[in-house]
Structure 1
């Protein structure tokens, strides 16, 4: 199994419960495709480098997980169409 990191930028206009639901939904996609979540980091509200969907701020989340090679493509396919996700990125982490 490979190690991956999913970076999510979630809309700052959402309430805490809605934001938590967005992150849980993304975590659910990882576990649905046989991924194992190892760590979730919440960096909080940060100013964006440029305006995205008329918003200047977003909440940053970093989800580390282990999965086989097919999982990231499936997770990306679902996260891409989530309404309140401004940006996302899945990267493979190198073995240390």
Structure 2
């Protein structure tokens, strides 16, 4: 099992319930295929850096999960078939990134706060 971070950009015309249903659909797909969800973070409506399909805003969702490497291809196919998904990006996390994300979620100082203060 490898660790991954997924960012999905969904169309802004979804209601709150539809946004939650889309999140549930993909987390269920993940667990059905033997993966586990580490952390889910729905960012909500944000402005886009450039228009995508004539839209200037979109709904963002970040998911951290563990799954086998062949699962990502299945997930990409599901995203390409879904009209609600504007963009998606899957990033592989090494052990240091997983540790950093866990510390960041728990509120433990990660060391970057000193650089931000200077």
TM range (shorter): over 0.9
Find out whether 1:65 has 2:43 as its counterpart: no
Relative to the length of structure 2, the TM-score reads 0.76
Runs of 4+ in 1 over 4 A off after TM superposition: none
TM-score by structure 1 length?
0.93
Structure possessing the higher radius of gyration over alpha carbons? 2
The equivalent of 2:55 in structure 1 is 55
Which residue does the alignment assign to 2:34? 34
Structure 1: give runs of 5+ residues left out of the alignment: none
C-alpha RMSD of matched pairs (Å): 1.0
In the other structure, the counterpart of 1:6 is 6
Query: Which digits, 9 at most, give the CA deviation of each residue in 1:29-82, with x for residues without a partner?
Result: 211221101100111211001111121101111010001111111111111211
- Between the two proteins, the alignment pairs up a number of residues equal to 96
Q: Which residue of 2 aligns with 1:93?
A: 93
Task: Specify which structure has the bigger relative contact order, considering alpha-carbon pairs within 8 angstroms and separated by 6 or more residues.
Answer: 1
Higher helix proportion (structure 1 or 2): 2
